[in-house]
């Protein structure tokens, strides 16, 4: 096995992951928030609360994004609700309807209250739901939750927070958003937009009982801008029983038109501008090694990306658009990958990167926001400068040429992802909910 230092361009192997520095855009006084990856801010470890150990709780999960919308937040909220229900808790979801009409439906063991909604004009596929405070109060008083967990601070989240405060119910707010997520179609945003965006998130967080984020990077973005509330890092988690290494399926390979005679470079995600798939296509045109790029996902940028691939002369045997991959087939698609690429500049954790790591795949990622918390440069993959297809191609070429290096990095991916097992995250949510329910709203 060759050393990465001997096979990788020196300027790529010596990428330094520098701590992010952010200016304080709005002054809220000195921050009292503390980032504690393994404990809450009052010194309680996992499982520490005044409630009986293992006691069932009633949890209302609120999100302004949910299936059939495809994305990280719908996936996280659905997995959280299902996981809590499987552990014996009574869970209800409050989310936007897929159309104009609201309804109540069952999703496995979880009741889902779909509220009527309209399309969000700046984000294709997203819908904004509306409910009055009186209707929200009626739902919440009928359900009698011990805690309300809000995953987005827009219409449903904002209404639920206000009503919860009136009723004295503790609120957990989890931030999943960056400015790039709010207006992905724009290449450049103004500083004023970013300032208003973070001002609102911090304002919302400071009026919740407890704030969480999936990574230290994500939480620091709020703390550096004035978050004062008690705060905790809790990973979104990944189901290691579902996403795991294994032999590739010839049936799945044939179904998606993937080659068996060369390595597969996979990327998975919504096809929108902030995900950087255009950079991956430019990198594909620069590769010196034979490989096939597999792009799994759909989104508003799909037409532009297909046109780019055609313009670059990347035929199906070089780049394959897989379209939407159903959830049950996705683990098998990861097992066909030799390398996972994520050139996105808008990740506060990245579920797809965790799924790839859990499947035993090395990762080449943009050195942007929280991706450096998952990808160790030179350990389980490489970090490259965002927007630089030449660097991305160079690192991909190194992994394509070195199967032993890929195998070593794949093993490191498996070791690193073990800390993000979904059951561990669910246990931490139970601990936090129990502590807050015992203390009451603050």
Per residue in 101-113, pLDDT tens?
Answer: 777 887 778 999 9
3-class DSSP state of 281: helix
pLDDT bracket for residue 41 (50, 70, 90): very low
Which domains, ranges and CATH numbers included, belong to the chain?
58-237+421-439 (3.40.50.2000), 240-419 (3.40.50.2000)
Q: What is the pLDDT of residue 66?
A: 85
Give yes or no for residue 441 having a pLDDT over 80: no
| Closest by Cα among 108, 76, 71 to 92 | 108
Which helix (H) or strand (E) segment holds residue 413: the answer is helix 403-417
Euclidean distance between CA atoms 330 and 357, whole angstroms:
13
Return d(Cα 120, Cα 114) in angstroms, integer: 16
At 334-375, the pLDDT tens digits run 999 999 999 999 999 999 999 999 999 999 999 999 999 999
Cβ pair 122, 197 in contact under 8 A: no
**Given pLDDT bands bounded at 50, 70 and 90, which one contains residue 396?**
very high
Residue 47 has pLDDT above 50, yes or no: no
User: What does the alpha-carbon distance between residue 399 and residue 393 come to, in Å, rounded to a whole number?
Assistant: 10
Please report the pLDDT score of residue 122 as a whole number.
67
Taking the CA atoms of 8, 12, 15 and 21 in sequence, report the sign of the dihedral they define: negative
What is the per-residue pLDDT for 428? 97
| Highest mean pLDDT (candidates 72-81, 98-107, 227-236) | 227-236
Q: Is 151 helix (H, G, I), strand (E, B) or coil?
A: coil
Confidence of residue 16 (pLDDT cuts 50, 70, 90): very low
- Write out the two tokens for 41: 């801010």
Residue 28 has pLDDT above 70, yes or no: no
CA 347/CA 351 separation, integer angstroms: 9
Q: What is the DSSP letter of 171?
A: E
Whether 4 contacts 405, CB under 8 Å: yes
User: How much of the chain, in percent, has pLDDT values that exceed 70?
Assistant: 84
The CA distance from 206 to 56, in Å, is 28
CA dihedral 89, 61, 298, 376 (to 10 degrees): -80
Phi, psi of 4 (to 5 degrees): -55, -30
Q: pLDDT tens for residues 131-154?
A: 899 999 999 999 999 999 999 998
Q: DSSP letters of 158-200?
A: HHHHHHHHHHT--EEEE----HHHHSTT-S---HHHHHHHHHH
Phi, psi of 36 (to 5 degrees): -125, 100
Q: If you average pLDDT over residues 31-37, what whole number do you get?
A: 36
Q: Which residues contact 135 (CB under 8 A, 6 or more apart)?
A: none
Helix and strand numbers (H, E) in the chain are 16, 16
Which stretch of DSSP H or E encloses residue 136? helix 133-143
Sheet strands (E) in 198-332:
210-213, 231-233, 264-268, 292-296, 319-323
Give yes or no for a contact between 94 and 61, defined as CB atoms under 8 angstroms apart.
yes
Evaluate if residue 261 carries a pLDDT over 70. Answer: yes
CA distances from residue 263 to 135, 225, 341 in whole angstroms, order as listed? 54, 44, 13
Q: Which residue has the higher pLDDT, 312 or 106?
A: 312
């Amino acid at each position: 096995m060759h050393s990465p230092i001997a096979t990788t361009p020196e300027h790529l192997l010596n990428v330094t992951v520098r701590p992010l520095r952010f200016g304080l855009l709005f002054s809220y006084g000195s921050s009292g928030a503390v980032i504690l990856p393994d404990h809450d801010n009052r010194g309680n470890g996992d499982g520490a609360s005044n409630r009986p150990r293992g006691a069932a709780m009633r949890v209302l999960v609120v999100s302004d994004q949910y299936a059939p919308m495809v994305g990280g937040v719908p996936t996280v909220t659905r997995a959280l609700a299902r996981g809590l229900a499987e552990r014996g808790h009574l869970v209800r979801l409050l989310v936007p309807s897929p159309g104009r009409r609201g309804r109540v439906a069952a999703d496995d063991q979880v009741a889902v209250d779909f509220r009527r909604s309209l399309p969000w004009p700046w984000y294709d596929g997203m819908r904004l739901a509306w409910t009055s405070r009186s209707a929200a109060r009626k739902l919440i008083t009928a359900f009698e939750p011990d805690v309300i967990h809000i995953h987005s601070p827009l219409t449903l989240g904002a209404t639920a927070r206000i009503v919860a405060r009136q009723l004295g119910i503790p609120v957990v707010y989890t931030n999943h958003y960056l400015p790039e997520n709010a207006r992905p179609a724009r290449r450049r945003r103004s500083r004023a937009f970013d300032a208003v965006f973070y001002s609102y998130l911090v304002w919302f967080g400071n009026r919740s009982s407890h704030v969480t984020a999936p990574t230290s990077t994500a939480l620091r973005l709020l703390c550096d801008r004035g978050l004062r509330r008690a705060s905790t890092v809790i990973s979104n988690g990944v189901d290691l029983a579902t996403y795991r290494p294994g032999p590739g399926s010839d049936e799945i390979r044939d179904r998606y038109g993937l080659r068996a005679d060369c390595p597969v470079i996979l990327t998975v995600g919504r096809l929108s501008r902030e995900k950087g798939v255009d950079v991956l296509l430019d990198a594909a045109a620069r590769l010196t090694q034979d490989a096939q790029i597999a792009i799994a996902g759909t989104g508003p940028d799909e037409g532009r990306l297909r046109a780019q691939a055609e313009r670059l002369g990347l035929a199906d045997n070089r780049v394959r658009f897989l379209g939407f991959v159903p959830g049950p087939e996705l683990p098998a698609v990861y097992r066909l990958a030799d390398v996972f690429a994520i050139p996105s500049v808008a990740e506060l954790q990245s579920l797809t990167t965790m799924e790839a790591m859990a499947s035993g795949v090395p990762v080449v990622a943009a050195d942007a926001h929280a991706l450096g918390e998952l990808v160790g440069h030179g350990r389980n993959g490489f970090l490259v400068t965002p927007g630089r297809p030449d660097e991305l191609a160079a690192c991909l070429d190194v992994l394509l040429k070195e199967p032993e290096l890929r195998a070593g990095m794949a093993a490191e991916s498996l070791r690193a992802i073990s800390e993000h097992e979904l059951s561990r995250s669910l246990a931490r949510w139970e601990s936090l909910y129990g502590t807050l329910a015992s203390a009451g709203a603050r």
